[in-house]
Amino acid sequence: MKARSERFKALLVERENELAGVHVRYLSEGQLPEGDVLVGVTYSSLNYKDGMAVTGTGKIVARYPHVPGVDFAGTVLDSGSDAFSPGDEVLLTGWGVGERHWGGFSQRARVSSDWLVHMPAGLDAKRAMTIGSAGLTAMLCVMTLEEAGITPASGPIVVTGAAGGVGSLAVVLLSELGYEVAAVTGRQSTHGFLRELGATQLLSREEMTLPPRPLESQRWAGGIDVVGGVMLARVLAQTKYGGAVAATGLAGDAMLTTSVMPFILRNVSLRGTESVTTPRPLREIAWSRLSETLPQKSYQQIAEIISLEQVEASARAILAGEIRGRVLVDPNL
């Protein structure tokens, strides 16, 4: 067997006169952070947080130098964990990787075994990164509604921010599971796209951001919300008796001004859903269900596959809203 080279490529963000400098460097395994599993990265993906980390926007990165990439999939090279062995196919999302910890824009990553998940049957590294963190979050939201007893027979489900990453995958998953889906979007140009994903009703952002009365007409058996603020308050006011809403984002507003009326008069529940620190057993269930539920068309949304050298330009493009679809990063190009 050919010996593994000690040196490998990684995208390193460094501080240069208070600005972020981005360079593709050759590193040694001794420069990687601590962890009990070493992974050879096959694919990562470009997310909005990665755009912020690469460009030095906000406070995404805790310490410099830093390797971005909030998720990745690949093959175990070395392991000090009983749960993983060399040759295992694995994936990782969340846990502050690419933010507080070095991430997937590298040919190798050393991480805690607690953060890894075995690749589910039916998926490979490319498909897993096409789904990415957004798909995992969407599946966890669907499971949250199921745990609340919401079934397809309960009635329609409203999805806010439906043209975004989490929202669009939530529309697909709900539709595939037999739910009637109402999609909220601020762009009329996405209507055809959302109907193709399975939405049967389309609602405008303007309608759903009108300040609600304490109780509105009962429309939804449940909801998946990535927007927060007034839109979440309106969804709650329109939720049917015994309904549930899974909240997982704050794209519109982190504040929620609402009334207790939906909760005490209609027995509505508001359930928070997050994917960053979800324990491994629940992650494994969610990834397995993603593999089983998502149709083949869901893997055709790759906009392009880029090299480490192309990441900086694509990071600026994603922050400017110039990218539609998934961009995968292949560190081995």
Q: Residue 1: its pLDDT value, please?
A: 43
DSSP β-ladder status, 181-185 and 201-204: parallel
- What is residue 303's predicted lDDT score, i.e. its pLDDT? 66
Architecture of the domain spanning 7-119+301-329: Alpha-Beta Complex (3.90)
Measured between alpha carbons, how far is 116 from 130 in angstroms, rounded to an integer? Answer: 17
Superfamily (CATH H level) for 133-272: NAD(P)-binding Rossmann-like Domain (3.40.50.720)
Query: What is the residue extent of each domain of the chain?
Result: 7-119+301-329, 133-272
How far apart (Å, rounded) are the C-alpha atoms in residues 330 and 313?
Answer: 15
Separation between Cα atoms, residue 282 and residue 326, nearest integer Å: 25
Task: Please tell me the distance from the alpha carbon of residue 76 to that of residue 42, in angstroms, as a whole number.
Answer: 11
Mean pLDDT per 10-residue section of the chain, whose length is 333 residues? 75 80 93 96 93 87 92 97 97 94 97 96 94 93 98 98 89 97 90 92 94 96 96 97 95 90 97 94 96 88 87 90 83 96
Instruction: In whole angstroms, give the CA distance from residue 225 to residue 244.
Output: 11
- Residue 236: strand, helix, or coil: helix
Residue written as token pair 């269900």: 289
- Give me the pLDDT at residue 163, please: 86
